[in-house]
Structures are given as structure tokens and as C-alpha cells.
A and B are shown apart, each in its own frame.
Chain A
Amino acid sequence: MAEREELEVASVGYRLAHWLNLILFLALLITGLVLLEIEVFSFIIYPLGAPVATLLGLDPGTGYVTAGVQIARLIHRLAGPLWGFIIVVYVSYLLVSGKLEILRVLRKPVGQQLREAVALLNHYLLGRELPGDVKKGLDRHNILATYLTLLLALGVLLVGLSGIAMVYLNLTPSQHRLMLLLHDIGFYLTVIFLIGHVFAVFHPSNVVLLKAMFGDGKVPLSWAREHMSAYVERVLSRR
């Protein structure tokens, strides 16, 4: 009976992919910040560089930074392709198996999407109740999550392609600086996604989802009926 009261919203594969995304994204974010602006973020690499510089007998005045940034750069260049590979494999799997739920809401007319987006923003930011029709039409992922994901996809595409070009291609200086610019733009877009994502998952309305993602992947059915009713109906009708 208790099993019927829960609904799986994140499969094992989904959670595993999320964990890998989280670890690799954080690694890329931290090391990328160091490479982006050393004057602001040099404090990050001292714990990384100090032991290595000491081990190599480098001058503490400059060696900590040099060793730290070199390690950060190495991690960045290893984590980047690995993250890209995982994303390509996972997205390909979702596309082939028809499980790319996050894009489903884009089938709705644009006017309806925007109305839902405004209603959701009012709900999240001002605590207003969702209109009945919006509530009824909520799917596994709401329209704001989908828009954020599209932003992430664009960001990942930019950092991915420019990163590959910078590491693996023999670029001219002007090509290299263009790739650096695109890499930065892609990075800022992914950070905007991250801020939106963190806000959404830590919001009191959605914290159940956060627990599911880092727990057994299941949410109470009553909560699901409230927050993703269209999805629940679809899943239950399949059973």
C-alpha cells in the first residue's frame, strides 16, 4: 500500500547522471573561475598548489599559484571532455528511448507557455497560488525548468565546442581568442542556469524533489498530484 503512495521521478540512471553532472560541473566551475580571474579567485588554488609546490621545492612566493593553476588547468582539461562525453551519451540515450521529458512542455502553445511561466514566477517569488488550469497542466518538468534547460544546453554547446577547439585544434591567435570569448559566454549562461536551478530545487515547494534526487528517487504521490498533475495522470493511465 505504501508503495502506491509514492511515485518514482528520478530513476537510478537519472540520479547517477545527475551525480556525475554535479561533480564534474563543480570541478569545471571552480577550476574555470581560477583561469577566468586569478586576481579574484586565487585563494581557491592555494590549498591545491601549496602541497605540490612544497613537494617540488618551488618558491613559495609564486610556486603555490603556478602549481595550483597548472593543476586546476589539468583538471579543467580532463573534466571538460569527460563531462561532454557523459552528456552526449546520456542525451543520446534519452532521445533514442523517447524519455526526454523535459522538452515535452514545449509542445504547448507559446502563449500558454508564457502564461504558465508568469504564474510560476509569481508562485515562486511572491508565494501566490497557481491558477487552477496551470496547476492541472503541470508536467514532470514545468516550463521554467525547460527554459532553464534550453539555456544550459546553449551554454554547454558553447563551452563544449570552444573547449574542444582550444584543446584539440591548432588554432590561429584570432581563432583562439574567439573561442575563448565563446567559452566565457557559454560559462556565464551555465552559471545563470545554475543560479536558477539552485533557486528552484531549494524552494520550499520543490524540496521534496531535491530529497528524491539525492535519495531513492521517489516523491509522495500526493505531492506529485499537486505539482505535476498532468504527468501523474499520464503515468497512472499507463499502469
Chain B
Amino acid sequence: MKISTIVLPFLFLCLTSAAEAQSMFRGNAAHTGVYPGAGPREFHRVKWKFPTGARVVGSPVIQDKIIYFGSDDGSIYAVDAESGRQIWKTTTRGPVPCTPAVDHGTVYVGSYDGKFYALDAQSGAVKWKFATEGERRFEAKGVHGMQPKNQTIADPFDVFLSSPAVVDGAVYFGSGDGNLYSLDANSGDLRWKFKTGDVVHASPAVVNGVAYVGSWDSYFYAVDVKNGKEKWRFHAGEDALLHNQVGFQSSPAVVDGVVYTGCRDAQLYALDAATGKQKWKFDNALSWVITSPAVADGKVYFATSDSSLYHVVEAATSKPVLKEEDEAYMFSSPAVTNDVVFIGVLNGTLEARDRNSGKLLWEYQIETSKRNANWILTADRRFNVPLIFFDTWREGPLVSVDRQFAIGAIFSSPLVANSTVYFGSTDGFVYALE
């Protein structure tokens, strides 16, 4: 009796803090994508939805019952998780399509204005900011077949900025200037920067003194967090023809000494975390793997873009466990809970799938998607590609992609806390479903 009196409250406190400790991209610095507790197996209601001034591409995080997220309207928001009411917002000078990290009362986040911000979690006041060498999108001549083929064009599918990880008083993030940065979390002073060959918009995972991140130069890097020195690098696919099958946009998960990451060369890779040696790769037949894999109980959960497939494979071998066909591309990363997996789809639908069978339990289609302006979707909610991409010349494809995303696309990776699913959409809202 005495033991239970002592242990039970302690256990409760541990569980409570575990449920709340989802304060950075993919839940933790290893990016496992696993959210303790249960998510709703049935859809009951929209608990609240919160409007911002523009698209919400990044993901929300939670700390002490406050939801933090960025919007392309340039602001970082703090919103009460229960009521959906705004607590504060702080405005930067550029879109914020990434996920903040919250640590010891400070919110860390980057902006397209080329600055990285540390904000007071209670008030939103700027504690410090750090100027990178400037943001930009991945770009290439005639990228994806856009014409004229000799013209350098920014990649409209480079939608995210790198989301920070905070570990042991240091913050780590990538930048469009090609660097992986490490700053002192308290002062914002530069600890080191590590130069890669192109844009770094994937988000670093930090485990056992090593930062892992891929770059658009198609190398995946392991960097010693003490000094910023390279430990190893892994070379993925190249595409000199269209620059389509190249580069890391997916962020890694690091579990039990293995790094799992998707790549735009259409592979999901498993690399030895100590050496960078490839353990296996899973081929997705020219379909990008933008999602960041989730890893739980010996299984890897991920999804693809063009082929629109939801996969679960064995972490040790890549042997398929299950595969489900979806209606549209997925850039959102799966959130794994006790028995439900949540993922966003670019057609404006949030899906809940049974963790074991992969079968759809429920889905929520947002209103913008239902309205289907410009017939971006087919009647069965696939992308209406012939109508969207009818022009490959000059600004044509860029305008098309912009229209495609305006359908209420869910790039945001769901956050699951207290039996509620939180995510953002390009309709400008953050949703809380239960």
C-alpha cells in the first residue's frame, strides 16, 4: 500500500510528462515519430480550428498544454491546446514552413527571412536571433522537366524549411545556404557550421553525440556534435537529366544504431549509424520518399509521393509487412501511436489507419478540399494531373503547383497528444481533432 502510494503518483507524473514531451519535430531528437498513448480510433468532432494568415506547412508541437507552430504568414503562434485560443504570436519577416522546438522555456524556429529565432515560450519575446547566410529553395536547370530546360528554376516541391533539434544546450538545424548549424541554445552563439554541397531543408536527428542529416547534394552526413567534423557520408542517387531523382528532403529517424531516411531518388535507406554503410534500401519505383519514416517495435512506417503508397516494412530487413494504396501524394510523416497511425495527404485529408492492419479507420477531409476549386481533384480525390499540369513552359508549372497545394494540402505531420490529433493545412488553419 505504501509502495503504491509512492509509486503511483510518480508513475502518473512520468506518463503525463511523456504525453506532453512532444516538443520538437517527430516528437524527439531521434525523430522516431512515435507518440505515447492512444490516438482516437474513431472521429468524434473538430475540437477546434485556428486560423492563420497563410498556409501552415510545418507541424505543431506541444509543451505544457500549449501548441506551438509556424505559418507562411510569417508568424509563430502559441495556442492553448484545449480551447484553441491564441496566447501569443511573434512575427518574423518570412514564411515559417517548419516545426519549432521547445526546450527549457524557449521556442526555437527558423524563418525564410534567413534568421533563426529563440523566443520566450510564455510571451513570444525574442531572446536572440541568429543570421544564417540566407534561405533559398533548391534550384536546377529545367528541374522536373520545366521549360525552358536551360533556365534555372526554383523547385516548387521544396516546401519545408529544416526543423531544429535541441539537445544538451545546443540547437541544430539545416539551412538553404547549405550549412548544418549548431548554436548555443542559451546565447545563440555559433558553435560550428558544417558545409554541404546544396540546400539542407531536411531536419537533423541528434543521437549519441552525432547529428544526422541529408542534403540536396544527395549526400547524407553524420557530423560529430562536439566539433562539427564529419564522421561519415553516404552518397545516394543522382539525376543529371531532370534533377528530379536527387536529394534528401526526408528527415532521418535513428533507432537502435540504424539511420532510416527517405530520399528523392525514390529509395528508403537504412544506414549503419556508426559507419554509414548501407544495410538495405527499399525501392519505390521512381516515387519520392519525402515523408520522414517513423520507427516503432521493429517496423518502419513511411509513405510515398507519386505512387501514393503507405508502407510498413521490417526495420531489420526491409521485408514488406503491409502496403496500402492511397488517393494522393504524401509529404506528411506518419505519427505512430499505440494502435493508430495518422498521416496527412496532399489532397486535404487526414487519415487514421489501424497500426496492425494498415486499414483506414477514419478520415477527415477539410472543407477547402471538399470544395475542389479548379477541379484540382478527380471525383475520387486523386490529383487531376492532366488539368493541373497542362503547361510545362515558363511559370506555367509553378502556377499549377501553387493551385494544387491550395486544395488544403496537409504537409504537416500530425502531433498526437491527450487523445487529440493536431495538424496544419494549406487552407491556413491548424486543426485539433478528437
A interacts with B: no
A residues lining the B interface (CB < 8 Å): none
Residues of B at the A interface (CB closer than 8 Å) are none
